[in-house]
Chain A
């Protein structure tokens, strides 16, 4: 139990280091990417090249991914500040966001499913 706790904590520290490297690289190279996405690509390169074995980050990474949704709760609470705007033109904005999200989801979903089926043959 305790050894599992420590391996999770240690692995999260490792992931955090890769995240910091990603942030640093983005700043250094002036990339149009956020540091966390750059870190994800860097981590993928480390795994794909065999430098880091997946088992080295599986416990910590698995824990964070299992609770990935959690991190968006405190962020979403920030919507509280936009009560005024929502009262004024909330309905129009909501309509736009709903419509455009539906369009995007369906366009990507349908096109990938169609092309994926064709390239699988």
Chain B
């Protein structure tokens, strides 16, 4: 992998992002989610050019370098919305806990109904929490960490596209509720969509992500076995 390829892959990713972001901001339609569209374009381009995922890896490392500080920056909208947390701590906590438990139960029950093996079921369990935690939970519970990482990323995508629809269908308009719902189910990616909806929703996405991560790590060892064959 030479420097030219490396720069080209970064340019491809940046270009796809800038164009799809424009499209999304012009229409604000959930299916036009910039992460979804860019990913499709990039995978198609990589396949067409005969590249493998391994070729893309160095560019990925370089581009996700700032994800850590970006997540830390979520403290800002959280700080601006601290009154929400102070005044509505209980609804926030109850909502995130209920959603986390419900999404895990739904995934495992549906998976069992469809006859998935125990390993795949365990790997599905932590799909709604951010990758570094999900992978660790899966490994400790006897799942397959790489499979879990794929489920987490897919859930991030699905929730951030489908979530806004599902919320609007069920008449959830409150930005606090929308942000929490997106962050609970789709971690950082859901939070990214919540941020596009507004600052309050974005702040709540970050809160939900943190609570869901902590809760799932604590209860998964006891909760997941309830749904296993």
Interface residues in chain A, defined as those with a beta carbon under 8 Å from any beta carbon in chain B = 12, 15-16, 18-20, 22-23, 32-37, 39-44, 46-48, 54, 57-58, 60-62, 64-65, 67-82, 85, 89, 92-113, 115-120
Q: How far is the CB of B123 from chain A (nearest CB, A)?
A: 10
Question: Are A68 and B133 within 8 A (Cβ)?
Answer: no
A116 contact from B91, B149, B151, Cβ within 8 A: B91
B182 within 8 A of A: yes
Q: A65-B195, A109-B180 are in contact. List 15 more A-B contacts (CB 8 A).
A: A18-B69, A33-B213, A36-B132, A73-B16, A73-B17, A77-B42, A80-B47, A89-B116, A99-B107, A103-B106, A104-B181, A105-B166, A106-B167, A107-B99, A116-B91
Q: In the complex, A81 Cα to B69 Cα: how many Å?
A: 27
**0/1 per residue, B38-64, Cβ < 8 Å to A?**
110011001100000100100110011
Question: How many angstroms from the CA of A105 to the CA of B172 in the assembled complex?
Answer: 10
B residues with CB within 8 A of A:
13, 16-17, 21, 34-36, 38-39, 42-43, 46-47, 53, 56, 59-60, 63-64, 66-80, 82, 87-88, 90-92, 94-96, 98-100, 102-104, 106-107, 110-111, 114, 116, 124, 127-128, 130-133, 136, 147, 149-151, 153-159, 162-163, 166-167, 170, 172-174, 176-178, 180-182, 184-186, 188-189, 191-193, 195-196, 202, 206, 208-210, 213-214, 217-218
Contact between A104 and B95 (Cβ–Cβ < 8 Å)? Answer: no
Per CB-CB distance, the 4 closest pairs between chain A and chain B, nearest first, are A104-B103, A108-B99, A115-B91, A43-B75
Across the interface, B156 reaches (CB within 8 A) one of A12, A23, A41, A72, namely A72
B39 touches A36 (CB 8 A): no
- Greatest chain B CB density within 10 A among A67, A74, A92 is at A74
What is the bound-complex CA distance between A94 and B161, given in angstroms? 13
Residues from chain B with a CB closer than 8 A to the CB of A97 are 107, 127, 151, 154-155, 158
CB atoms of B68 and A19 under 8 A apart = yes
In angstroms, Cα B114 to Cα A89, docked, is 10
CB–CB A48/B82 < 8 A? yes
Can you report 11 residue pairs joining A to B where beta carbons are below 8 Å apart? A32-B213, A32-B214, A35-B68, A37-B71, A40-B71, A40-B78, A44-B75, A69-B189, A76-B157, A93-B151, A101-B166
